Structures are given as structure tokens and as C-alpha cells.
Chain A
Amino acid sequence: MEPEVGRLEAWGVSKRFGPVEVLDGVDLVVDPGEVLAVLGPSGCGKTTLLRVLAGLEAPDAGSVTLDGDEVKGPAPTRGLVAQHGGLFPWRRLRANVEWGPRAARRPDAAAVAEELLEATGLADFADAWPHQLSGGMRQRAAIAQVLANRPPVLLLDEPFSALDAQTRLRMHGWLRQLLMDRPVATVLVTHDVDEALLLGDRVALLSVRPSKVVEVLDVGLGAGRDHSVRQDPRYMALHRDVLGRVMGT
């Protein structure tokens, strides 16, 4: 199933904070159902870019549109998952996932949440508090919380960077599967080349600050790939190439 909605475009997006120029004319297009990994060195303004796409920051120049409509502020059409997740610690997991549908006054909020808890393997923990969950479960729950709004666009800000290496590997497989089951245009911001190549359909490389997109690469390793793809010579060549550019630029 190909969704028709969820075409996110950014044209000439620039942003500065005082004297610090963070973004310098970023151009991006994310097609419906596609995963675009945005890869760049630390401190290059990846998070700022994502916040502009989310509508939490207004760009100084340029524009962001979703399906042709200008993005003017935060809205549930773009689900943002931050580095440490956005779960509300004073709500149990179920209430956290129901938050969006309830805010939208959807009568089927409970059913939507139940379905997502099921899909994210968290149904058994619906009555747990966020602090009782492990880091991996919390990030899964944060993604479920955002997906409960059925957003056309999913924005992920280094969602697995706080996790240990093994949990991160498992989360990559899990997210790839989830996004195959329910395609949603996704921008995944990361500094991890493996994460970008495993999850992204395309990879946009950002330069150092002030950032712009220096190149967009097609990954082309197949949608059903898992971690075994890392033994693939094509993957290794791509990894070497991308790492060289990230380190070099």
C-alpha cells in the first residue's frame, strides 16, 4: 500500500541563533512512504533542521511544506520523536499512547492506542509507568505515541542514540519492520552511518555548520534488508564512501 499523502519539502531553509548560523539553505524532499536518513557530523544542526520541519522553529528564510501546505507550527500531522522520547512521566503507557487521539477528540482513541501498543509489542506494559520501562521500550513507546495520530510524516531525532549497542541493533530491525508494515514518510536524523544505511531509502549528507545538504544518495539495498546486509560488499563500499564524506566534509 502506497500512501498518497506525506510529501515533505524544504526549500532554502536557513536558521541562525544570534551570531551562530546553523542552517544555510537546506533543500530536502521526502516522498510519501519513504525513509530519508539525514546524516551529518555532530553539532551540524541536524536537530535544528528537524525542529524546523516539525514547526517548532520558524526558518529565517526558505519554506517547509507538507503536501503543498506551508508548515507554520507544531501539529499532529508531523510526529516528532526526540532523542529521549516525549513520554509524559505522570501518565501510564496506555494514556501516553492515547494522548494524541484524545487531544483530537477521536472516539476510538482507546482502540487506536490498543492497536499501536500491540503493534509495538508493548501491550503487556500498557499499565506501566514510563520510568519502569527500559530505554528501548521507552523509545518504542514514544514512536507508538506519535504514530497514534496517524501522521503523514514521522520525524525521528537520533531516537536510538541513548541506547546500548545491542538494543540499538534490535531497534533497527524493529523500526524497519514497522515502517514496512505501515509506510509513513520518515525523516531520520542520525550521526550513525550504519543506522542511516540500514534504515534509510535515501541518505542526505549535511555539511558542517552552517549546514546544507551536500549530497543525496540512493541506498538501493532492498526494503527487507536486515543487519546481515552489512556483510554485503555493496553495503561495505557504500559505508566506506559515506563515512569518508562525513569525515571529510
Chain B
Amino acid sequence: MADPDQAGQPDPEGPTSHAPAEGPEATGTGHVALVAAIPAERSGRRRSWPRRLLGLVVPAAVLSVWWAATRFGWVSSLVLPQPGDVLTSAHDFVIGPSVRQLPGTVAFNRAFVPDLVASLHRWALGAAVGVGVALPLGMALGLSRRAEDLLDPLFQGLRSVPIFAWLPLSVIWFGIGEGSARFLVFVAVSAPVAVATADAVRQVPRAWVESARMLGTPRRALAARVYVPAALPGIVTGLRLGLTLGWMTVIVAELTGASDGVGAMMAGARETGRLDQIMVGMVVFAVVGLYADIALRAVARPFVAWSRR
């Protein structure tokens, strides 16, 4: 019902669900750990308002306990800032210094936009190169036995190295900050995208390829006309995963040393013990990551709608 394409069943005999199960969940990565990193598809089902309100109960309770704990001094503000202070910091960060300055502190002074732009920039550069390398690599691994034999062992080995184990090398190769951050994002994005693409291409049913061949599709056109469209749901899953991991990598890369960016802001806040500012940074990362994923899914939806029923 969320999908306009699927509204209005034209079928008088009623729909049958006999097509192969090639949904985005079925194709793509089968790794539980990887899939857990991206928000689950809700199979197009909207939750009703009473159920949504129910979802606010626990956050509200947590917030109340938080507020009470800080308000009544159960917990030191050095360990946990007051919710109100976090809000004030967020206001300072995004809109500008408020009238009610926290005593004895330096305000954010609207660093939000340049910091966010710096972080997004690193993410975009690393992701663009990562996707640009990973998509052809994944296609080759999925399509060609020769490429798989040649590249897969090395690729699997490299992929098993945790992203942040690359950090020391990356700092030596690319220096602290800019170059290192981009390189780490590149590593984070390229691995899942290549794996998901290769998996999705391998799982394209042979019947579709044979059908295309019988209909006269030239062999060299199979990749573009059959494999890519058929594997797209799995590829999109890989892209969502890769871009999410890439965004997570941006913050850690920035925490280790960058002059600007949301992560750098948080690193600075840690130095000065501003837990409220750290929390603002966490919220910014969460919101940007979530909405970027939603945007990617919205862009991809027309191309993968066929696989969701």
C-alpha cells in the first residue's frame, strides 16, 4: 500500500506469489552482522498511530529518568549533562549562541553548517571512490569465474581486516586528518558494496539468463540487460550498508584528528569536558545517517520496486 506502482491489482484471478523469492532480504549479503547495521525494511507496512505512540513510551521514560537524575544531583553533571543543556548546545550549534549562555563556557557559535559540510564532504569523496571501485569489482567477481579465482582470496583476506586496523597505516600513508579520513571511508564503503554486488550477481537465477539468451540477447549485453537489473535489489542493500558504514567511519576518522567536521567538534568537546556538545554530535550523526539511508532508498525504490511485494 505504500507503493503506488503496486496499487490497483489488475488481476481478476487474484495475485499469486509464484515468482522466485529474490527480495532485497533474500539476495545480497547473508551476513547477519552486516545486515544488522542498516535499518530493517518494514515490508511497506505503515504502523498505526496508537502503535507509534507506544514507541514513544520508552524514550520518554528514559528522558524522564535522565532529567531527574541530573536535576536532583543523583549523577554528577561531569558524567551526564542535563537534557536542557544538551538542547541549549544544540541550539547554539545549529542556530547560534542563545541568550542563556552556560556559565563559564564558550558557545558553539554556529559551527554546525561548516562542520557538517566538512564531514559530508569526506564521506562523499570516500564513498564515490569506494562505490566506483567496488561496483565493477563486484560485477567481475560475480560474473567471471576467472576473476573470482584470481581476486577473491586477496579480497576476502583484506575484507577481514577491521576498518580501524587500517588506521595506523592510513595515517602514515595519507597523514592525519583529511587524506586518512577519506581512505578509511573508501575502505569502509568498498568492501560491503563489492561483496553484496558479487553475491547478488551470482544469485541471479540461471533461468533468466537462459531466457534472455533464447530470446536473442547477445552474450556481451547480458551484464547490462539481465545481471545488473536482476541483481539491483542486492546491490542496493550493499550500497545502504556501505554508505552507513562509511558514515560511521567518518566520525571515528575525525575523532582521531581533523581540524573540522562533526567528529572533530566532538573530539574538541571531549577535551573540554563538554558532554552536552558530545551528545549533540551523536544526535547529528544519527539523524544524518538515518536520513541519508532513507534518501538512498527513495532514490532506488523505482528500480527495485519489482522485487518487493
Contact = CB atoms under 8 A, between A and B. Distances in A.
Interface in A130-158: 130-138, 145-146, 149
Interface stretch (A81-89, A201-209, A216-224): A81-89
Interface string B268-309: 000000000000000000000000000000000001011101
Contacts of B309: 131
A73 B147 CA distance: 25
Interface string B204-243: 0001101111111110010000100110100000000000
Interface residues of A, number: 38
B109 interface: no
Contacts of B17: 131
A82 B214 CA distance: 11
Nearest to B217: A103
A146 B232 CA distance: 25
B15 A167 contact: no
A167 B13 contact: yes
Given A56-B210, A82-B211, A134 B16 contact: yes
A86 B208 contact: yes
A131 B10 contact: no
Given A132-B10, A135-B16, A149 B215 contact: yes
B233 to A, nearest CB: 9
A99 interface: yes
B172 interface: no
A69 interface: no
Given A86-B208, A90-B307, A80 B214 contact: yes
Contacts of A172: none
Contacts of A146: 214-215
Contacts of B20: 84
A84 B207 contact: yes
Given A103-B217, A135-B18, A149-B216, A86 B11 contact: no
A157 to B, nearest CB: 11
Contact of A129 (B16, B18, B210, B306): B306
Given A74-B210, A135-B18, A162-B18, A103 B215 contact: yes
26 contacts: A54-B214, A56-B214, A74-B210, A76-B216, A86-B214, A88-B211, A88-B229, A89-B19, A90-B232, A90-B307, A100-B215, A100-B216, A103-B215, A103-B216, A128-B10, A129-B6, A129-B306, A131-B309, A132-B6, A132-B9, A132-B11, A133-B15, A135-B18, A137-B13, A146-B215, A149-B216
Interface of A: 54, 56, 73-76, 78-80, 82, 84, 86, 88-91, 99-100, 103-104, 124-125, 128-138, 145-146, 149, 162, 167
